Amino acid sequence: MVKNIYFFYLFLLNALINLVNYVPRILIHDRYNGAVLSVIISIPVGLLLLYLFAKMIGSFPQQGLPEIINSGLPRWFGKLLLLLLGCIWFMSSVITLVGFVDITIRYISPDVSPFVVLAGFLIVVGVSARLDSESILYGLEIVLYMTVPLIIYMVWRVFNSPYFEWDAVRQIFTYLWTMPRYQTVAGATFIFTGYINMVIFNRVFKKVRIRHIWLFFIVGLFTLVVSMFAPIGFLGAEGSGNPVYPAFSTVDSLRIRYFIIDRMIYVFYVVYMCLSLMNSIIHWHVSKELIMGAFQLSTSSPSGKRMRKERRIEWGILGVFSALVYACTVFADQFIMDSLAVTFLNIRFAGEFAVLGLMFYFLRKRRRRV
């Protein structure tokens, strides 16, 4: 069993990865159309969803969503629901992996084939996603300890730079009371969505307890402010809307003086490569377990030994995942991936309320039995 701090680690990883992913682009795209108010709205909404889910999943200690659903819903409906949830969560990893391959080609190695880069990523993610949930959480802890101090340092360098224009930030605040769009709120609340991974990782928690909710508030606010206003302050209120990846364009403007690496972007890239791969490993692991749970399969026998049948199915699922990511890299251009990201964020936001409703139903059902 693992400690409750690992719940915070799952939240923190998802929050940090969205300093780079499509969330900053969505917020900056709507900077004149309610993005500031979206940030303000998303914080209490995201914290409320996180808190309610943690309280309800904590009532089912050492159980994942497959076990909860299979014990409380008709088999055909539970199977369909788990397959749907597994596919939706897998789409998040597709967006992350394909986006980071594009970042690698744009900023680091334009002469290298994207499929070579993707092959390396898929091998790491596919093999690591087969580890047990507890080992993945320990790996996540190590990655965060290595990367968080570097992220804090880079954020300090951005906001402490003499080239940071606070007037551009003030200009955006003049649109504070512009009503936001649904997709902007959905994008902003994605910062808090790391708690959804508990649908599988709850198996290794004795009982989830939320403590120091103010820490979740600070991290969420910090992430949203940095992801939106760092590019605006560096690139300008108007110019920040032009780059495909605002965070990388911002960091690419910084130098590290008195250091062996002259450009900040190389450090930034390594940090976010580690976070992106860790994020994809977790999403593949969760998606794989949800899909296997739909067929009431387990990757280990009661004695702890891998069963051959389940192992083949597990490799088959990961093979399909790899093929889908490869197909998206081949056939989907930047505009298709942008549309896919917005669609995913919109569906995910509504899906979180559906999952909460489902958990509430199971909780009421269990209490009636007692």
Percent of the chain at pLDDT exceeding 90: 35
Mean pLDDT score, 59-79: 85
Instruction: Provide mean pLDDT across the span 156-165.
Output: 88
Structural domain total, the chain: 1
- Would you state the pLDDT for residue 259? 65
Contact (Cβ atoms closer than 8 angstroms) between residue 150 and residue 271: yes
CA–CA distance from 153 to each of 112, 160, 268 (Å)? 30, 10, 11
Give the pLDDT of residue 99: 87
Q: Which residues contact 350 (CB under 8 A, 6 or more apart)?
A: none
Distance CA 273, CA 267 (A): 10
Rounded to an integer, the average pLDDT of 5-21 is: 89
Residue carrying structure tokens 């719940």: 7
Residue 3: what pLDDT? 83
Average pLDDT across the chain, whole number: 87
Q: What domain range is 284 assigned to?
A: 5-369
C-alpha to C-alpha distances, 91 to 10, 280, 325, nearest whole angstrom: 18, 10, 9
| Amino acid found at 170 | R
74-86 per-position pLDDT tens digit: 888 888 988 999 9
Can you tell me the distance from the alpha carbon of 291 to that of 87, in angstroms, rounded to the nearest whole number? 8
pLDDT at residue 303, rounded to an integer: 43
**In the structure, what pLDDT confidence band is assigned to residue 366 with cuts at 50, 70 and 90?**
confident
Q: What is the pLDDT of residues 111-146, one digit of tens each?
A: 888 888 889 999 999 999 999 999 999 999 999 999
Residue 287 has pLDDT above 90, yes or no: yes
Over residues 209-225, the mean pLDDT reads 89
Confidence class of residue 301 from pLDDT cuts 50, 70 and 90?
Answer: very low
Residue 308 has pLDDT above 50, yes or no: yes
- Check whether 258 has a pLDDT greater than 70: no
Residue 293 has a pLDDT of 87
Can you give the pLDDT at residue 61? 85
- The residue type found at 156 is W
For residue 309, pLDDT beyond 80: no
Higher-scoring residue by pLDDT: 304, 271: 271
For helices 114-128 and 75-103, give the axis angle rounded to 10 degrees: 140
d(CA 338, CA 353): 24
Residue carrying the six token digits 């009431």:
296
pLDDT at 365 over 60: yes
Q: Is the pLDDT of residue 299 over 70?
A: no
| CATH number of 303's domain | 1.10.4160
Token match 């990388």: residue? 248
Kindly indicate the confidence band of residue 329, based on its pLDDT and cuts at 50, 70 and 90. confident
Structure confidence at residue 295 (pLDDT): 80
pLDDT in tens, 183-207: 999 999 999 998 999 999 999 888 8
What confidence tier does 305 reach under pLDDT thresholds 50, 70, 90? low
Q: Quote the CA–CA distance of 252 and 235 in Å, as a whole number.
A: 11
- Torsion sign over Cα 35, 227, 199, 82: positive
Task: Report the sign of the C-alpha dihedral through residues 185, 291, 334, 108, in that order.
Answer: positive
CA distance 255 to 233: 17
C-alpha–C-alpha distance, residues 307 and 117, integer Å: 32
302: confidence class by pLDDT, cuts 50, 70, 90: very low
Q: How far apart are CA 213 and CA 11, in angstroms?
A: 12
